[in-house]
Amino acid sequence: MEETAGWEKTLRNGRNRRTTLLLVLCIVLGLGLILYPGFSERWNRKRQGRAIAKYTAAVENGDSEEQELMLENAREYNKMIAEKGIDLAPEHFDAALYESELSMNGMDTMCYIDIPRVNVNLPVYHGTSEATMQVAVGHLEGTSLPVGGESTHCVLTGHRGLPTARLFTDLDQLQIGDIFTLYTLKEELVYQVDQLRVIEPYDLSTIQIEPGKDLVSLITCTPYGINTQRLAVRGRRIDSPLAGPEEKAGINGKYTSDATQIDPSGAAPVIAAPLLILVLAVISIRNRRNRALKRRALEKLLEEGITV
């Protein structure tokens, strides 16, 4: 009977150690889910900052005549886009020509965007591949290049709610009259928000060129976490970030976005906390069940006259 008691004790200690280890792992997992977005966001901000710094250095140290030629080529490209209209079908434009436009030393960075209200300072890359959209803002192929000019409409797209980077997550906080700026080569292009709309994913009417206007639209998914529609924030070119009364009078539309405004910073804890509670509940239930089974086994042994 002493051997049986020793075996029972060894088994109990083993189960306790496994339970403790599982509990520690669950706590570490829960803390990881809570802390990961913050660490990842800081890492990606540094990465994005390095991309902008590299682009800025290339512009400052580059040949001015070569850069002016690049701008002229981009403007000619935009004239071609204006003549045929916005067309997103890949077979309808020259991919190789597009990739060569505004390419400094072969870099994928076309320009960078600054949106003060939501603390966004991001590089803008050619195209909207998933690799691009995970780390930066993508320029929508088939729309005007980000060099400004009459009868242009440049469309920039960014993900929302990624756990690794904020990107356009806070785009729904923009309001009519807010300013954003594109830095393309040595050009500083200032735009003022004049329209906010929630549109269907394949609605191209909002991003079409309007004769004589210099427009940029910022596109992201909405509602947050559901992503069935698109939030389109449109800006029109102004001469100065300090818009005068005559400029503000020309702005029409709603003063706030129709998109639901949600702060995603608490999303990870909201997800992690229930998961952690669920795992702890499962462990607790399992422990109680094991103790009940052990108690019934001991009671049966006692009924049979076996002492342990």
Per-residue pLDDT of 93-129, as tens digits, reads: 789 999 999 998 888 899 999 999 999 999 999 999 9
Q: Tell me how far apart the 2 most distant CA atoms of the chain are, in Å.
A: 101
- Please write the tens of the pLDDT for every residue from 149-193: 999 999 999 999 887 788 999 999 999 999 999 999 999 999 999
The pLDDT of residue 269: 56
pTM for the full predicted model? 0.71
The pLDDT score that the predictor gives to residue 237 is 98
Q: What is the pLDDT of residue 298?
A: 66
Residues 185, 59: contact at Cβ < 8 Å? yes
pLDDT in tens, the chain (308 residues): 555 555 555 655 566 666 666 666 666 666 555 544 555 556 666 778 898 999 999 999 999 999 999 999 999 999 999 999 998 887 777 899 999 999 988 888 999 999 999 999 999 999 999 999 999 999 999 999 999 999 999 999 999 988 778 899 999 999 999 999 999 999 999 999 999 999 999 899 999 999 999 999 999 999 988 889 999 999 999 987 654 444 443 444 433 444 444 444 455 555 555 666 665 666 667 667 767 666 776 666 666 666 55
Distances from the Cα of 115 to the Cα of 75, 135, 298, angstroms: 24, 17, 70
Residue 281: predicted pLDDT? 66
What's the pLDDT score for residue 301? 62
Spatial separation of the C-alpha atoms in residues 106 and 131, rounded to whole Å: 17
